[in-house]
Amino acid sequence: MEKYIISLDLGTTNVKVALYNSKLEEINVTSLKVTYSNKGDFVEFDPENYWDLCKESIKKSIKNSAIDPKTIASISITGQAESLILLDTNYRPLRMAISWLDERSKEECEILSSRFQREDGYKITGLPEMITTVPITKILWIKRNEPEIFDRAHKFLLIKDFIIFKLTHSFISEYSTYSFSYYFDIVKKKYWEEILDFVNVKKEQLPELLEPGETAARVSTEIADEFNFARNTEVNTGALDHFAGMIGVGNIKEGILSETTGTVLALAMLTKVPYINEYSQPCHCSALKNRYVLLPVCESGGIS
């Protein structure tokens, strides 16, 4: 029996689902637009509505392809990195998700920059600047401006972690996404505890991190029943969208440069070691094991 793979792209502008057969031939693509609340520097979206878009996209793709849902072998997750979601002890969102586009945390950038030297942060995280994009600044903003919500937070998740949880009931993510967080050590492949201590977040409030492309878990019984999936359908951690795209265009060894334009325009080049350099280029864990990516970006590239 033919088996199929779902690629779920957690986009900024759209949620996209691509369905492939076992030969990696594209069978169907479905895309649904994400809506935002924009007020000045604040850019937010409803995490439950985002999850509904994911579910609707998957169901439409399966229906349009006229395949048996039980032939879906795996769901692989890709997409954006930094959008932040807080869950309570019942695993419900405590507030709207804060998009990576949100710029409210300028003051928090200054506070963190005064506490952690730029050079140290760059060597540890691969990120040369403390900017509003990174989730650590949004976490500190919530701590300072919404203390009652911060105190009730049981989990601090990025959008990929939230969707993996919805599919599996497990809190799992991967290195390439977390190398955009500013609280992940890209060399030691673990959380940067010193900066987490500063914002009063415990490791237990964060997901377990795996290599990109590893199996996170199987779908939950609830999801298997809702979608009529087989009980052993796997959910794969995937990788950041730009890094998954590198593999797709053959950028899998040093000396190749590829460009992708989504909401963000990015140039990507693979390296064997973390390349912390005088040009202050962002360096991240790649989709490939023990490889890194230099990734200069233009954040207004595709969205402008």
Strands laid side by side in the 84-87 sheet: 37-39, 42-45, 97-98, 84-87, 155-158
How far is Cα 102 from Cα 47, in angstroms, rounded to an integer? 15
State pLDDT tens for residues 64-122: 999 999 999 999 999 999 999 999 999 999 999 999 999 999 999 999 999 999 999 99
The DSSP call for residue 201 is -
Q: Is the domain covering 4-244 a CATH 3.40.30.10 domain?
A: no
Q: What three-state secondary structure class fits 287?
A: coil
Q: How many CB atoms lie within 10 A of CB 1?
A: 5
| Domain spans of the chain, in order of start | 4-244
3-state SS, 78-92, equals: EECCCCEEEECCCCC
- The pTM of the full predicted model, rounded to 2 decimals, is 0.94
Q: How many CB atoms lie within 10 A of CB 238?
A: 29
Burial class (CB in 10 A: 0-12, 13-18, 19+), 13: middle
**Contact present, 162 and 223 (Cβ < 8 Å):** no
How far is Cα 135 from Cα 178, in angstroms, rounded to an integer? 10
State pLDDT tens for residues 258-298: 998 877 888 999 999 998 877 789 999 999 999 999 998 88
State pLDDT tens for residues 117-154: 999 999 999 999 999 999 999 999 999 999 999 999 99
The dihedral formed by the CA atoms of 254, 258, 262 and 264, expressed in degrees to the nearest 10: 70
**Contact present, 5 and 65 (Cβ < 8 Å):** no
Average of per-residue pLDDT across 219-248: 96
State pLDDT tens for residues 144-192: 999 999 999 999 999 999 999 999 999 999 999 999 999 999 999 999 9
- Tokens encoding 23: 């030969």
Q: Does residue 302 surpass a pLDDT of 70?
A: no
